[in-house]
A and B are shown apart, each in its own frame.
Chain A
Amino acid sequence: MPLPLRPLRISHVGLRGIVGQGLTAAHVIDFACAFGTFLEEPGRVVVGRDPRASSQMLYEGVVAGLLACGHDVINLGVVSTPVIQHAIRWLEARGGVSIGASHNTAEWNALKFFGSKGIYLNTAQASELLDIYHLRKFRLAAWDQLGRLSEEPGALDYYISQLAAVYDFERLRDFRVVIDCCNGTSSILLRELQRRYGFDWILINEKLEGRRFAHDPATTAEMVALQLAPLVKPLRAHAGFLFDVDSDRVALATEQGEALSEELVLPLLTDFLLERNPGRLVITNLSTTALVQEIAQKYGAQVLRVPVGRQAAIDALTSYPPEQVAVAGEGTGAVMMPQFRFIYDGIASMLGILTMMQERGRLLGEIVASYPKYYMIKGQFPLVPAAVPRLLMELQERYADGQQNTQDGLRVDWPGRWFHVRVSQTEPVLRVICEQRDEPPAELFRQLSEQVRRLMS
């Protein structure tokens, strides 16, 4: 029997669920107390949230838990996740919490935890946090040692100063850009940038919404095609960008009004960043397009492929000196750059792509047209956990002629063609991804689907 969708997920990436149905106030308080205990010595903790109505409830619980553990809480209010991450270093905080479910629909919410460098907890840290949560033996401060709450309105300024240190805003002013904010926090930032630098940006779905977003806030080509892409040509814009609710991810539309695959964000930024620093390492996951590899080869760079999920990427990053890494990211439009201390940041990604357009004197569609064309087919199948090992073994035997990687399910590579079969970390499904150069891998996908269906029933 296939499993139902779980409305609550507690894992190494934190706490995520449908509010009320799975995610409750008790989970929030306990997780905040666990994080407060995990951070040990009382210090400052930075907290920010997205505009979801439920984020206020989560915020109250997070503040209560952190204060109870003796930490001083610095509230940034409704802000983008990258702003929180930058503020952690700026304020010399012990850590931070981002409240919001990012690219998930409005009924979801989540807590994401950061350490003192503003980076997501690595697997060892996250395991410890989970252990503390499950044990529920929190280090609560005595009544006269509780923390204090304060507000910090300057975090946005600091974040903008970080962007301004890397990008030359003056040179980006000639672009007319349409931006779909998905009713999320990107609009706060974009409006401020626009006010200061006079950008010719047209924002849609700009109003912060708590209960209903204009559309599913996923950074996918499908969502770009919905409202954003059709506006680009009529408005004579040079590109279109779409952000998820907390703007750690971005998706793209060309000057021709074409919705680009979310897979193209990383290759574009790889191209942009390797051109400046050829030979540096590119870190991505096993499900990401082979185009990344092709671009990396052009600059003599290696691609390190890790299991899917934020956690594996964070762990991989800790094993390399930052100056050896050019970029890290996934095919979801979530990309981290060393200039921004490896923070997933959709806004920084957008500015990188605009800078590349400016430097090369070519628009987005023209740059993408210069790349070899890859076709990707993705599918998902209801999960029968017990059948997974057998399926993977059969696939390994059947596709023995390819280069195999078994770090996360099975990925098999042939020249110009690959597939990846893996179990999702967020939903009870088995994901199948195939990609092929020059033409869709329809036959390979059909074969895989047939085999999966046979074993997963």
Chain B
Amino acid sequence: MRVHKLKIGVSGIRGEVGEFLTPALACAFAQAFATYTGPGRVVVGRDTRPSGPMLEHAVACGLLAGGCDVVLVGVYPTPTIQIYVASTDACGGLAITASHNPAEYNALKLFNRQGLFFNTYERSELLDLYHQSAFRHVSNAEIGHVETDTDRPFHLHLGRILPHIDSNRIRNRRYRVAVDAVNGAASLWSPRFLEALGCEVAAIHVDPDRPFPRLPEPKPEALDQLRRTVIEQKCAVGFAQDPDADRLAVVDETGQVLDGDDVLALVVDTVLQRQRGNVVVNLSTSSAIDDVARRYGCRVLRAPVGEANVVQLMQATQAVIGGEGSNGGVIYPSVHLCRDSFTGMALILDRMAASDLPLSELARQLPRYFRRAGAVEFEHERLGELLQRLPERFRATAIDRSDGIKLILSDGWIHVRPSNTEPVLRFALEAREPQRSEELYGEVLELLSSSGG
């Protein structure tokens, strides 16, 4: 499997802008989208990538040609666009963003009239329309309008979050909060959002006209400046987002970046305290979630890795909370069934305010597991063989094959899966004891490297 600079598949259309992701492709894809949704208003928003405006015009062109009206909201986080779609009479939405991918990439994220990611069936239907070029072409008499609505989406989003937290309690704490919006779609909105919660905001990387100043994905190694800001400005917490602000990373008051699974565990705990129900996470997410859920007598269900998979299972099981630890994703359906860094920030602040404990202490109280993750390159033909070797090598009490292979061991677990986008096998593992975790890491790495090579 080689990496190509354009990918059109069930996850949509993504590529490097220039020779690969062209205006013609974006326009045709939008026209296929219009054909699929039928007449109605389609919301279009984007992140701050330099190619955003060009693609926005191409998408508007295709939507109009396909018989839809276009509502341009401008630069907004993906979750805000989704909530706006769900809150208005729109028949669908498109976010122009390559999310956490590098700046040269762009992509289209597709939403149905409920503001939810297209599910597998919707996506393959759309893809068929695209490939067949079976587009609706409307005449001048039927062609729609372009309208703009740039202020309302933020207020709709904020209005959805506030009823689910005790905002007065947060306000009374007058937290000093650092935020790093990577000069992305949240640049204008995160400071406003945190100020609305009474926080004193130390904002970095909130200029939407400047390039991404760090890795777009809020990985711990990319957050040095945020960590410094938290320490220097004596902040209670620091938040980092990706360019379309669906992902969230959290830094505690000591400048430590919290593990994504710990952030999710904190959020799950916060939600289950007042609302019992199912929890959905992905197969690579920590068992800490199970321990937390057990306290409330709630069930944890596991979906294959990927927001769409988690959302699909949450919808099917009417889960009250969910997400993907390693991808910084908090999904709280009471706000909206989407990965949302704003909801994540609000729930963390709410938890801090309720407990009156520093964030590092809240994290310390979580069930303790030792996690490792990694990736190795592999030859595609050898995937089956590799996945067969794992259960031979490790004694599993249970095996889940819904996304690669997950072995449940007596004292931990191992999850190995091929990436959907790159020629790598990703693996994650967890154990109760740190030595056991290191031991497993070495063994898995050796096994995958020796036979995959």
Q: Which of B226-254 contact A (CB under 8 A)?
A: none
**A442 interface residue per 8 A CB criterion:** no
User: Interface centre among B17, B50, B143, by most A CB within 10 Å?
Assistant: B143
**B365 interface residue per 8 A CB criterion:** no
A57 & B65 in contact (Cβ 8 Å cutoff): yes
- List the count of A-B residue pairs having beta carbons below 8 Å apart: 132
Which of A28-36, A347-355, A356-364, A368-376 lies on the face that meets chain B?
Answer: A28-36
- Chain A 32-68, CB within 8 Å of chain B: the 1/0 string? 1100000000000000000011101110110111011
Alpha-carbon gap, A147 to B23, bound state (A): 13
Alpha-carbon gap, A29 to B139, bound state (A): 17
> Given contacts A53-B140, A64-B27, A146-B17, are A28 and B51 in contact (CB under 8 A)?
no
A64 & B51 in contact (Cβ 8 Å cutoff): no
Alpha-carbon gap, A142 to B15, bound state (A): 12
**A140 interface residue per 8 A CB criterion:** yes
A30 & B24 in contact (Cβ 8 Å cutoff): yes
User: Interface centre among A20, A25, A32, A144, by most B CB within 10 Å?
Assistant: A25
> Given contacts A24-B65, A68-B54, are A29 and B24 in contact (CB under 8 A)?
yes
B139 & A107 in contact (Cβ 8 Å cutoff): yes
- Cβ contacts under 8 Å, B58 to chain A: 29, 60-61, 64-65, 68
- Cβ contacts under 8 Å, B65 to chain A: 20, 24-25, 57, 61
A143 & B104 in contact (Cβ 8 Å cutoff): yes
- Cβ contacts under 8 Å, B137 to chain A: 19-21, 24
- Cβ contacts under 8 Å, B24 to chain A: 26, 29-30, 33
- Chain B 1-41, CB within 8 Å of chain A: the 1/0 string? 00000000000000011110011101110010000000000
Q: How far is the CB of A137 from chain B (nearest CB, A)?
A: 10
B139 & A143 in contact (Cβ 8 Å cutoff): no
Alpha-carbon gap, A56 to B145, bound state (A): 8
* Nearest-CB residue, chain A, relative to B58: A64
**B316 interface residue per 8 A CB criterion:** no
Alpha-carbon gap, A138 to B54, bound state (A): 15
Q: Which of B26, B31, B135, B143 is in CB contact (< 8 Å) with A56? A: B143
> Given contacts A64-B27, A146-B17, are A21 and B139 in contact (CB under 8 A)?
yes
Alpha-carbon gap, A191 to B26, bound state (A): 40
Q: Which of A56, A68, A144, A211 is in CB contact (< 8 Å) with B141? A: A211
A60 & B54 in contact (Cβ 8 Å cutoff): no
- Cβ contacts under 8 Å, A335 to chain B: none
A61 & B140 in contact (Cβ 8 Å cutoff): no
- Cβ contacts under 8 Å, A391 to chain B: none
- Cβ contacts under 8 Å, A210 to chain B: 140
B22 & A68 in contact (Cβ 8 Å cutoff): yes
User: Interface centre among B139, B142, B144, by most A CB within 10 Å?
Assistant: B139
**B146 interface residue per 8 A CB criterion:** yes
Q: Which of B17, B49, B55, B62 is in CB contact (< 8 Å) with A25? A: B62
How many chain B residues have a CB neighbour from A under 8 Å? 41
**B61 interface residue per 8 A CB criterion:** yes
Alpha-carbon gap, A148 to B51, bound state (A): 10
**A109 interface residue per 8 A CB criterion:** yes
- Chain A 177-217, CB within 8 Å of chain B: the 1/0 string? 00000000000000000000000000000000011000000
- Cβ contacts under 8 Å, B26 to chain A: 64
Q: How far is the CB of A26 from chain B (nearest CB, A)?
A: 6
A67 & B54 in contact (Cβ 8 Å cutoff): yes
* Nearest-CB residue, chain B, relative to A57: B64
**B57 interface residue per 8 A CB criterion:** yes
User: Interface centre among B61, B62, B137, by most A CB within 10 Å?
Assistant: B61
B51 & A19 in contact (Cβ 8 Å cutoff): no
- Cβ contacts under 8 Å, B18 to chain A: 140-143
Q: How far is the CB of A64 from chain B (nearest CB, A)?
A: 4
Alpha-carbon gap, A146 to B49, bound state (A): 11
**A269 interface residue per 8 A CB criterion:** no
**B304 interface residue per 8 A CB criterion:** no
Alpha-carbon gap, A33 to B22, bound state (A): 10
**B106 interface residue per 8 A CB criterion:** yes
B146 & A60 in contact (Cβ 8 Å cutoff): yes
* Nearest-CB residue, chain B, relative to A18: B139
Alpha-carbon gap, A109 to B140, bound state (A): 9
**A106 interface residue per 8 A CB criterion:** yes
- Cβ contacts under 8 Å, A67 to chain B: 23, 53-54, 57
Q: Which of A130-152 contact B (CB under 8 A)?
A: 138, 140-144, 146-149
> Given contacts A19-B140, A56-B145, A211-B141, are A144 and B55 in contact (CB under 8 A)?
no
B61 & A25 in contact (Cβ 8 Å cutoff): yes
Q: Which of B49, B61, B211 is in CB contact (< 8 Å) with A61? A: B61
Q: Which of B50, B57, B138, B145 is in CB contact (< 8 Å) with A143? A: B50
A19 & B143 in contact (Cβ 8 Å cutoff): yes
A57 & B17 in contact (Cβ 8 Å cutoff): no
- Cβ contacts under 8 Å, B23 to chain A: 29, 32-33, 61, 64-65, 67-68
Alpha-carbon gap, A387 to B63, bound state (A): 44
Alpha-carbon gap, A144 to B138, bound state (A): 34
> Given contacts A33-B23, A144-B104, are A63 and B57 in contact (CB under 8 A)?
yes
Give the 3 A-B residue pairs with the shortest CB-CB distance, closest first.
A25-B65, A64-B58, A60-B61
Taking beta carbons and an 8 Å cutoff, which residues of B are in contact with A?
16-19, 22-24, 26-28, 31, 49-51, 53-55, 57-58, 60-62, 64-66, 103-106, 135, 137-146, 211
Could you show 19 A-B contacts with beta carbons less than 8 Å apart?
A29-B23, A29-B24, A33-B24, A53-B140, A57-B64, A60-B58, A61-B23, A64-B27, A68-B54, A107-B140, A138-B22, A143-B16, A143-B51, A144-B103, A146-B50, A146-B53, A147-B54, A149-B53, A211-B140
Q: Known contacts A60-B57, A143-B106; can you find 10 more A-B pairs with CB under 8 A?
A: A21-B137, A26-B27, A26-B28, A56-B64, A56-B143, A64-B61, A142-B17, A143-B16, A144-B103, A146-B17
